[in-house]
Copies of this chain bind each other. A is one copy, B any other.
Amino acid sequence: MKFEIARDRLLDGLSDVMKAVSSKAAIPILTGIKLDVDEEGLHLTGSDSDITIQTFIPAEENGEQLIRTSQSGSIVLQAKYFNEIVRKLPTNDIEIEVSGHLQTHIRSGKSEFHLIGSDAEDYPQLPEIDDDRHFAIPADLLKSIIRETVFAVSASESRPILTGVHWQVQEGELVCVATDSHRLARRKTRLENAPEDDYSVVIPGKSLQELNKILGDSNEPVGITMSNKQVLFRAGHVLFYSRLLEGNYPDTSRLIPSEYKTDIYVNGKTLLQSIDRASLLAREERNNVVRFTADGSNVVEISSNSPEIGKVEEQVETASVEGEELKISFSAKYMMDALRAIEGQDIVIRFTGAMRPFILKSAEDDTLLQLILPVRTY
């Protein structure tokens, strides 16, 4: 193997595939990055067995020569060293050559590195996925869907299925649900060119977070292909594979109340800042709980009390309060997560009483719903 490549392009590619590489890889070879070069270009592959990312750098792009291959071949190089070396090389022209016994030479300017590689034959194959169950979502929309739901997955492994986001495709609609059993996020998206089949898969939250970092903010379509054990996201030259979680995702639809007794219309950002302040004194306490009181007027009160430290009270103007008076307590963290996910200026919070779950959503839009279980303090 022998080729020349522009350092900046190699760095871009490495920064994508490095996201899959873990320093605590179960299989030693997965601490490496696989390079496959031929006259078409260079494939880089990184994996931690759960996530596999492959990116392709073409030999030529828009008439510009990016890679000059003198000899095709493959090698696996220690990710940590290879990435650092490329980053610090003195010039933008890099030559990489593998001689006998996996000896890899990396040359740039008057600097020459010799790394001991591993045999590419020992690197795991890419997962096989049939291409017939397929749909596409623009990258920016996919990023929104991930951002609005993935924070609500469970951080605990006590129910592994809840560490993932449930993706269901049915009747031309994608419904994504995440819950840690204390709060829930649900996002519905109408699909163009929806697949005819129904899908129901559970994607690990960690995979979606990594995918989110790789996706750009363009509206370029991201192809999504699902099999029984794997999902593949295809964005431009990047392939992102994730294993799926096994098991049945719980039916969450019964959690969402069907009728409400108090509706509060309020500016989401104002409420977020107020909850953030009230939570300052509540952080040390077990649940980071704040109190929320609606007395029938157009003003609600946010408060919290830590006997050792002090207390805080704040009035928040609402657009309107409809229905019964209410005193309720909830986790400030869950509330702030939900308000950040909705992002919109005008939101509505719908309560069914102090002991029942309540929901938050945009005042104009039903596609995103956030649900929070209150905390019993009264």
- How far apart are the CA atoms of A33 and B277 in the complex, in Å? 20
Tell whether A78 is near chain B: CB-to-CB under 8 Å. yes
Give which listed residue, B89, B115, B274, contacts A309 with CB less than 8 A.
B115
B316 touches A110 (CB 8 A): yes
Number of copies of this chain that the complex holds: 2
Tell whether A81 is near chain B: CB-to-CB under 8 Å. yes
A114 touches B276 (CB 8 A): no
Tell whether A112 is near chain B: CB-to-CB under 8 Å. yes
Tell whether A146 is near chain B: CB-to-CB under 8 Å. no
Q: Looking at the assembled complex, report how far the CB atom of A336 sits from the nearest CB atom of chain B, in whole angstroms.
A: 12
Question: Which chain B residue has the least Cβ–Cβ distance from A87?
Answer: B280
Question: Which chain B residue has the least Cβ–Cβ distance from A307?
Answer: B116
Task: List B contacts of A89 (CB < 8 A).
Answer: 277
B280 touches A81 (CB 8 A): yes
Tell whether A311 is near chain B: CB-to-CB under 8 Å. yes
Tell whether A113 is near chain B: CB-to-CB under 8 Å. yes
Residues on A close to B: CB < 8 A?
78, 81, 84-85, 88-90, 104, 110-116, 273-274, 276-277, 280-281, 308-316
Task: List B contacts of A114 (CB < 8 A).
Answer: 310-312
A309 touches B78 (CB 8 A): yes
B81 touches A281 (CB 8 A): yes
Question: Which chain B residue has the least Cβ–Cβ distance from A85?
Answer: B280
- How far apart are the CA atoms of A62 and B276 in the complex, in Å? 35
Give which listed residue, B84, B277, B313, contacts A280 with CB less than 8 A.
B84
- How far apart are the CA atoms of A128 and B311 in the complex, in Å? 38
Task: List B contacts of A88 (CB < 8 A).
Answer: 273, 276-277, 280
Question: Which chain B residue has the least Cβ–Cβ distance from A299?
Answer: B110
A310 touches B90 (CB 8 A): no
Given contacts A81-B281, A89-B277, A112-B313, 16 further A-B contacts (CB under 8 A): A81-B309, A85-B277, A85-B280, A90-B277, A111-B277, A111-B312, A111-B313, A112-B312, A113-B277, A113-B280, A113-B281, A113-B310, A113-B311, A115-B309, A116-B309, A116-B310
Instruction: State whether A110 and B314 are in contact (beta carbons under 8 Å apart), knowing that A277-B88, A277-B89 are contacts in the complex.
Output: yes
Question: Which chain B residue has the least Cβ–Cβ distance from A77?
Answer: B310
Q: Looking at the assembled complex, report how far the CB atom of A43 sits from the nearest CB atom of chain B, in whole angstroms.
A: 23
List 15 A–B pairs whose Cβ atoms lie within 8 Å, in order of A's numbering. Answer: A78-B309, A81-B309, A81-B310, A90-B273, A110-B314, A111-B274, A111-B312, A111-B314, A112-B313, A112-B314, A113-B281, A114-B310, A114-B311, A115-B310, A116-B310
Task: List B contacts of A113 (CB < 8 A).
Answer: 277, 280-281, 310-312
